Amino acid sequence: MEIILKQDVTNVGHADDIVTVKNGYARNYLIPSGYAIAATVSAKKVLAENIKQRAHKAAKIKADAEEFAKKLEGVKLTIGAKTSSTGKIFGSVNTIQIAEALVAKGFDIDRKTIHIKEEQVKEVGNYTVEIKLHRDVKVTIEFEVVAE
């Protein structure tokens, strides 16, 4: 029996796959449990339309992320921190401070998407940070840590 999977099923297939399984397995387990639906002609048309719409939405989201990445390119941040006389920072610079500096520049970015390339920023100097705007779109920004 041909079915369309609504979600991933181990040893059967992934969501939105059209697979052939034994009749009893489909009728007694997959369909009543909500894991699959029967692959009728109308269900296949609906699946094709849903996949097409999802692809269109994903392309729009990626295009928006690329446009935002172009705006972010060339942005240079300056982050002030309390330092000792030798130039070491009390504490360290983290993603929260970078996100706040970006908000001050007019870019609202979630701190969870920010990744500092160095392990820890504990001294005054220039560093880089990578921001993941989309699965395929990343932008690198430079920031400078200065003594307050």
Token pair, residue 131, equals 């921001």
Is the pTM for the entire model greater than 0.75? no
In whole angstroms, give the CA distance from residue 44 to residue 49.
9
Architecture of domain 69-147: Roll (3.10)
Report whether 145 contacts 88 (CB < 8 A).
Answer: no
Model pLDDT, residue 91: 86
Model pLDDT, residue 17: 92
Model pLDDT, residue 131: 92
Q: What is the pLDDT of residues 58-83, one digit of tens each?
A: 899 999 999 999 988 888 999 988 88
Segment-wise mean pLDDT, segments of 10 residues, the chain, 148 residues: 93 92 96 95 94 90 91 88 86 89 90 86 89 88 88
Model pLDDT, residue 4: 96
3-state secondary structure of 54: helix
Domain boundaries, the chain: 2-64, 69-147
In whole angstroms, give the CA distance from residue 114 to residue 138.
10
Same fold, 2-64 and 69-147: no
Q: Look up the CATH superfamily of 2-64.
A: Ribosomal protein L9, N-terminal domain (3.40.5.10)
